[in-house]
Amino acid sequence: STLSKRGLGKLKHKANELLSRTLDQQVTLAVTGLSRSGKTAFITSLVNQLINEGNGAKLSFFDPVHNGNFIAAKRVPQKHYHVPRFDYDAAISALTSDPATWPEPTHGISELRLAIRYQPKNSILKYATDMATLTLDITDYPGEWLLDLPMLKQTYQEWSQQTHGLMTSKPRDEYSKSFLAKVAQLDPFAPASEELLAELAQEYTALLQTFRHELGLSVIQPGRFILPGDLAGAPILEFFPFANADNIDANAYQNATDDSVIGMLRSRYSQYQEQVVRKFYREHFLRFDRQIVLADCLKPLNKGKASFADLELAMSMILESYQYGKSGIFSRLFSPKIDKLLFGATKADHVTPEQHGAMVSLLNQLVHQNKNQLNYDAVAVKTLAIAAVKATNSGVSKHQGNEVPVIQGRSLAQSELSGTASVFGEKITVFPGAVPSELPRDNYWQSNSFNFIEFAPLSGLNKHQCLPHVRMDQVLQFLLADKMM
């Protein structure tokens, strides 16, 4: 039994291959957050940090890089060909153009796959192979879609009542009057006109857009209406809450056929529950291994009490999706496998660094006021204040003899700042205000004002270098480091 040296080498090579094949790992990372929370910027930065590692990277808190185990990362064809691709190239081009602009946000679900090569140091792999691969599948989807989950346990009537309640109270009431008046004119049992329903559904959708973008509200239902993805224009999105659903005779409602007004609305609602909401959970959500939920707490602080209260409500609705412990209603519907959940308070570069602690505790309170309902036993949870793409520099400025911390960046839009209008691209220096470290109480809103303004990305960024960031290395450490041991 003599094995030639060459034969031995071959055998060892085969064994290495086998081992690395079995120990190569795959992680599906889902990135969500309400629109404008910073998902597109986040994914762009995350990919940029990984593929440019070694080129001006400041990833000191990401062990694989810090310890020199990280070899390289590259984009490879994504897993599901029917899901749109996350357009990294367009996003990085926007950020590195001159003048730099923020990337166009995505409007639905998208995917991107990275192959990350590393040298295993601590695992048994180190005796067998020099290189292992972690395949990272990143899925981006609107947080608004998670707002729909609670609809699964509501009938059309119950949902209508709840939504009607929202639309008749502040601050939505003023804007909703004309729509509600039109719905009140409808005879629920008359034959349905598809055109009329489509028209009213459009009006309802326009209202939701106003709530989101003008009033800065977060509770938008159905979430798919403002971010329809590939369902834009489909009849399944053509329903709306029926204003007086509780005044309708129960028997007549039961017996209403699908071609009556109320019957058609009800049947579209139930199809929406099945074909849109449940389908998303079945086809995507259940496959996620790890999740990052991004939240912009600064804008609602700017907008005031109603906007902030709405964010609180939206967060608790979103968290229902992670409430899959023994007691959770949804544990019976789904059993997701998420083992790590990261909450990111985004745009931390909008405030001075000493405020980051307050940002974290504020978001923590938004999250953990629901904690007793959540079963986090099996899930590791963390909260970080981050900036995916840092657009400001911080420093100190003298103000009336005192040193005050300030940030400096390029103005994104015409805005009124302490009486002086700023012009696009102009360098501005501000003290944006203090972030409350607790959920603000009523009297808080009278005595505090915020001035978190939007900045343009810093100019002179290079796509072959790492984007400036705040704590993206800690994000990577929490989400990926344990898979690269």
Binding site for ligand GDP (CB under 6 A): 33, 35-41, 102, 105-106, 346-347, 349-350, 387-389, 391, 454-455
Give Cα separations from 120 to 72, 262, 466, 473, 485 (angstroms). 13, 61, 24, 19, 6
Q: How far is the CB of 388 from ligand GDP (least distance, A)?
A: 4
Rounded Cα gap, residues 194 and 263, in angstroms? 12
C-alpha to C-alpha distance for 148 and 317, rounded to whole angstroms: 8
Which CB atom, from 278 or from 299, has the smaller least distance to ligand GDP? 299
- Answer whether 41's CB lies under 8 Å from 84's CB: no
Which C-beta is closer to ligand GDP: that of 263 or that of 468?
A: 468
Cα–Cα distance for residue pair 111/108, rounded to 1 Å: 10
Distance CA 8, CA 17 (A): 14
Strand partners, 294: 33, 344
Virtual torsion, Cα 319, 320, 324, 327, nearest 10 deg: 120
Please state the closest distance from residue 455 (CB atom) to ligand GDP, in A.
5
Q: How far is the CB of 87 from ligand GDP (least distance, A)?
A: 12
| Full DSSP string of 122-160 | SSGGGGT-S-EEEEEEEEE--GGGGGGGGGGGS-HHHHH
Please give the biggest Cα pair distance in the chain: 93
Q: Is 77 helix (H, G, I), strand (E, B) or coil?
A: coil
CB 294, min distance to ligand GDP, A: 7
Nearest distance in Å: CB 45, ligand GDP: 7
Nearer to ligand GDP, 94 or 152 (CB): 94
Least distance CB 391 / ligand GDP (angstroms): 4
Query: Whose Cβ is closer to ligand GDP: residue 37's or residue 302's?
Result: 37
For ligand GDP, the closer CB: 266 or 347 = 347
Q: Least distance to ligand GDP from the beta carbon of 382, Å?
A: 18
Q: Nearer to ligand GDP by C-beta: 126 or 463? A: 463
In angstroms, the CA 411 to CA 428 distance is 6
CB of 132 or CB of 298, closer to ligand GDP? 298
